[in-house]
Homo-oligomer: A and B are copies of this chain.
C-alpha cells in the first residue's frame, strides 16, 4: 500500500451490546484510530448518515474509506468489503485540453488514459478572453459548469475504459494553471490578469467531489495542486514533483512550455521560478497548420541540404494533417540550416525554390503537397506562422537568461534541464538550440519528462510525501514576475534572431551573416 490520498481500511469493530453501547459512528472511529496513527478522523456532515448507516448495515465489519487530507483523516464511507480495486483520477486541467488517467491506488498501475478538448473553448480559446467573460453576468458560472461537464465526460470515458462505474472513482487530483483552477472552483479570476496579478487562492483546502457536482463518487477528495502565482500554476508544481527538481543536490532547471513558458531553477535548498507569455506557436497554435501533438501531426522534419527534399515523421505513422510544436521547430531549424530563411526568420525566395509560393497573406512554404496529406490539403508554413514562432523562441530564451542572471549562474552551471510537456516529449533539443530557443549545451543535459502535469497529479494520488512536498515547495519558491521586468524586455529584443544577436552564445550553430 502506497500512502494514497484515499485508503480502504479493514475494520472489524466489536458488536454493540448492552455492555458496549457507544454510537455506531463513535464505534467505527474508535476501531479506526489505531490504524490512523491515533488520529481521530472527522466525518463531514454530508457523509454522517451514510457512513453510520452503511457501517451498521455491513454488520460493523468491512472497509472504512478514509480521505487522507493535510488537516487530518476524513472518514467518508463504509463498504461491506475492501473493494477489489480502489481507483483515483489524475487530471491535467489544461487551457485547451484535459488529459487524465485512472490510477489503481493500491498498485499505482494506470488503468486508463484519455483526453478531451476543454469545453470552455467556446467561450474563448485563450485564458484572457475567458477571464473577461467571467466578469459578465453569469459568465463565471457558465465557465465553471463548462469545465465540470468536461471533467465529468472525461471521468465517464476513463471509467468506461476500465469497466467501472464512474462513481467507483474515489479520489481526484487536479493539476492546472491558476486560472483553470479558479474556473474549476468557481472563484473570481478577475485579478489574475491585472497587476499585481494576485490569485484568489494559491493553495485551496481539499473539498469533496459532491460539492463541485462532479460525477465521480461524491465523497472523493478533490486535491488541487497549489500554485505560486497567477502565472505559475499547480501544473508546474506537478512538474517539479515529477522531475524531482526540489530534491536534487545539484542545480537543475525545469522548462514547461505551453501558451506560457514556465521555468524553475533550483535544487533541494532553493527554487526560483518565473513564467512568461511564449505565444501559442509552441503548443500547436500556429495560425493555419498547427496542431496538438497527436495522430497525424508531423513531429520531426529533415531537409536534405543538397536536394532540398523533405523527410518527415508523423505521429501514428499515417498521412500528415499538420505540424505540432516539435515538427515546427525542426522545420524552421532545417529551413535556417539550408538557408531558406534568414537570421530574422524571413523566407529567402532566392533560395527556397519552388516549394515557396505566394499566398493571400504573403509567402507560404509547402511542407507536404495536398496529394500526400491526410485530407488532400497541403501542409504549409506561412510567414505569419514563422513570425509567431520567432517571438515565441525569443521569449523563451529571454526568460531563461533573465532567470539565470537573477540567480547569478551561467547555463553551464546547470546539471540538467528537464523539458516538460508534449513539447518536451517530442522536441529535438538540437534543433531548438539551432533556433536559439534553448541554450547551447551538450545534448545530454536535456531530459524530457513527459506530461509532468499529469505525472505530478498521479503522484499526489499515490504518495503522502508528494502531497507534503507540493505544499512545502510553494512556500520555498521565489517567484520572479516577468510581466513588468525591464531586463526581460531587453533580452527579448536580442533574442529575435537565429540563433541570437550575440552569436558567441551559440558556438555550435552555424551563423549566416550579411545577406
Contact = CB atoms under 8 A, between A and B. Distances in A.
Contacts of A25: 200-202, 204
Given A42-B205, A49-B188, A21 B197 contact: yes
Given A48-B185, A196-B18, A211-B46, A24 B56 contact: no
B479 A21 contact: yes
B203 A481 contact: no
Interface string A172-205: 0000000000000111100100011111111111
A458 interface: no
B45 A211 contact: yes
Interface residues of A, number: 48
Given A18-B484, A187-B49, A26 B71 contact: no
A188 B54 CA distance: 12
Label chain A's interface by main secondary structure.
loop
Contact of A26 (B17, B195, B203, B484): B203
A293 B25 CA distance: 37
A68 to B, nearest CB: 14
A205 B21 contact: no
B484 A187 contact: no
Given A42-B71, A42-B205, A71-B42, A199 B24 contact: yes
A56 B25 CA distance: 40
B71 A21 contact: no
Contacts of A205: 42-45, 48
Contact of A23 (B16, B19, B49, B201): B201
Given A23-B227, A25-B201, A56-B191, A16 B196 contact: yes
A510 interface: no
Contacts of A187: 48-49, 52
Nearest to A212: B45
A25 B203 CA distance: 8
Contact of A21 (B22, B56, B196): B196
A480 to B, nearest CB: 10
Interface string A431-469: 000000000000000000000000000000000000000
Contacts of A52: 187-188, 200-201
B198 A23 contact: yes
Task: Give the 7 A-B CB pairs with smallest separation, nearest first.
Answer: A45-B207, A23-B202, A25-B201, A23-B199, A52-B200, A16-B198, A49-B187
Given A16-B198, A22-B198, 12 more contacts: A18-B197, A21-B196, A21-B197, A22-B202, A23-B199, A24-B198, A24-B201, A25-B201, A49-B186, A53-B188, A53-B200, A56-B200
